[in-house]
Amino acid sequence: MWLIRSLIVLLILPGGPAVQPAGRTPVETARFTVLSTMLAGSPTGGIGEWGFSGLLEVDGRRLLIDTGMRAETVLRNAEELRVDLSTVEDVVLTHNHLDHTGGLITLRRELGKKNPKALSRAHVATGIFWSRPAPDGREGNGLLRSRAEYEKAGGVFIEHDKPRELSPGVWLLGPIPRVHPERNISGAGRVQSPQGTVEDTVPEDTAVVINAKEGLIVISGCAHAGIVNTVEYARTIVRDAPIDAAIGGFHLFALTDEQLEWTAGRLRAAGLRQLLGAHCTGIEAVFRIRQLAGLTRRAAVVAAVGSSFTLGKGIDPLQLAR
């Protein structure tokens, strides 16, 4: 639990230790349920949208990762899937784009009616509040427009400039170094950084990593920093272990065959065992990586609303992607 002096100020916390302390016990239980992505996985609940969100449950602790694009998609999908989000106090926003932050205000307000602490802490990486000036002079960073609303609703942003362990075995990577020249971004936007106005490569892009006995579980919103950069950084920061599962959006839909071959090769070298590719990963990209990384149909799946990954059991793709 974090000490919060005020719920209407922006906290900037220093990063945690750069390396996991020796003797740390891996998590015992972990489950991730997709609440927003393009496909609906079952006719009995949930609707698709261009966005991403999911609920992470680790050893009794719960963390929402991203909030989808439309204001009420995650709220309604959770209700239909019978997932109670009112007890979730912390949310991670992987980057500033609307398709990951659009549901934040609605979720905070509606869930707060049942639990005043619901989604009251939003963890972000440094750079997420940097201005994105559009060519016509308008502000292109949509999160800036909702920041004041979130704080007015009693929420607090906690900014991380380095990796930090949010709870035992659950890490937020902070800004991810771009070691490999992956270009998993779209458009030609600009961002006002401390070094001046430069190309917007989504420098705040971050991911959540779970340290499990079987290996690392990496959850990404879009992997604008590059999924290979993300995975390799996770193995440096948390533990040099195989990637038991990579879950979320990896922004691979526009990659060439050659780029997909390189990506799959690096993931295979990192010991990737399971892939639940949501959102901007791309359907063809999931199939190609499945083939190139030597995964099975059960171990590499296109994510759908309601699909899940459970530590020790694997992926439940629901009906559509089975």
135: helix, coil or strand? coil
286 domain residue, yes or no? yes
Q: Is residue 110 part of a domain?
A: yes
> What CATH number should be reported for the domain holding residue 135?
3.60.15.10
Looking at the structure of the chain, the number of domains it has is 1
| 53-58 β-sheet, strand order | 11-13, 156-160, 121-125, 90-92, 61-65, 53-58, 30-36, 308-310, 314-316
Check residue 4 and give its pLDDT.
33
pLDDT digits (tens, 9 = 90+) for 239-264: 999 999 999 999 999 999 999 999 99
In the predicted structure, residue 22 carries a pLDDT above the cut 60:
no
Q: Is residue 6 part of a domain?
A: no
Residue 212 lies in a domain: yes
pLDDT of residue 59 exceeding 60? yes
pLDDT (0 to 100) of residue 104 = 98
Residue 111 pLDDT > 90, yes or no? yes
Report yes or no: 189 and 140 within 8 Å, Cβ to Cβ: yes
Query: Does the residue 150 lie in any domain?
Result: yes
* φ, ψ for residue 317, nearest 5 deg: -80, -5
Instruction: Compute the average pLDDT of residues 302-306.
Output: 97
Decide if pLDDT at 6 tops 50.
no
DSSP character at residue 63: E
251-297 pLDDT per residue, tens: 999 999 999 999 999 999 999 999 999 999 999 999 999 999 999 99
Residue 291 falls inside a structural domain: yes
- The parent domain of residue 41 ranges over 28-314
Would 294 be classed as within a structural domain?
Answer: yes
Neighbours of 286 (CB within 10 A): 23
Q: What is the pLDDT of residues 156-209, one digit of tens each?
A: 999 999 999 999 999 999 999 999 999 999 888 999 999 999 999 999 999 999
Q: What is the 3-state secondary structure (H, E, C) of 21-50?
A: CCCCCCECCEEEEEEECCCECCCCCCCCCC
The answer to whether the beta carbons of residues 124 and 93 sit under 8 Å apart is yes
Give the pLDDT of residue 7: 33
Q: Over the chain, what is the mean pLDDT?
A: 92
The verdict on residue 299 lying in a domain is: yes
What are the CA-CA distances from residue 250 to residues 88, 185, 227, 233 (Å)?
25, 10, 6, 15
Give the model's pLDDT for residue 1: 34
